[in-house]
Structure 1
Amino acid sequence: MFLGTYEPKLDEKGRVILPAKFRDELSTGLVLTRGQERCIYVFSAREFEQMNEKIRQAPVTSKQARDYMRVFLSGASAETPDKQHRITVPATLRSYAGLGRDLTVIGAGSRVEIWDATAWQTYLAEQEAAFAETAEEVIPGLF
């Protein structure tokens, strides 16, 4: 499970060093793809394969499912960390997420998310107030 918040830098070649706590699970391979809210999702190869199986079960007759699958999978890039635990974020994904040099990398349970640091701070500021004021059950059975 991926947890926590980290603030690595993107180097001039578009590489980022994976946080130490994420390295074991991602060391044998990972997949980067477009995420919601203009971030990049990072899945272990195993988790991505499980997601792909669920995607394959979506009805081909559903336009919304086809659209989602196309955007999600067309942006996917399989990567293997180098010996310094760096991964290259493809230019198309860097552009999609508006990544600058300063990043925020968060653990989001089954995945990692890579955000431009300013975009993350804006998102978090907007969401923290709503989070603190949540009075109803958002995730069934959690509380």
Structure 2
Amino acid sequence: MNGFFLYANEPQDRPKLPLSQSLPYLQTIEHDALILGEGPTKVYVFIDPYCPNSRNFLSLIDENSKMRSKYTYYFFLYELKRFNSAEMIAKIYSSSNPLDALKRVMIQDQNLSDTINPSVSGKIAQISNVAQTLDIYKRPYIIMVKREK
């Protein structure tokens, strides 16, 4: 008797920390964010520089002045293992202007020749630790903090 089993990878609900518990973690890395926008509502975004969805999201924000006036985006670079972007993340954070470097890589599809500053490894590790604590598993991963009235 020949046969086989077929298992489907069903999406599973992943329990998330409520915002009241997540926010203190996010605030510990806020100073490491690449910030775009001036709006009153904070939006924390975890992206991978090689992820097509992350690239589309950053392009959308960069092109839309209305979105940048309503929200302040805090971008954190966090590697999706399948893209092998650790070196590029380090190059972006090592750049003299990381936000400009991020745009050059993700929007203009340029490569960076910047050297990697070893001091960025701590920043990258801290962001990674927070992302793992919050169970951030896809990119872009967006957390919006609504302003209180």
Please give the TM-score of this superposition, normalised by the length of structure 2: 0.26
Greater share of helix residues, 1 or 2?
A: 2
Greater share of strand residues, 1 or 2?
A: 1
Please give the TM-score of this superposition, normalised by the length of structure 1: 0.27
Q: Which has the higher contact order (CA 8 A, sep 6+)?
A: 1
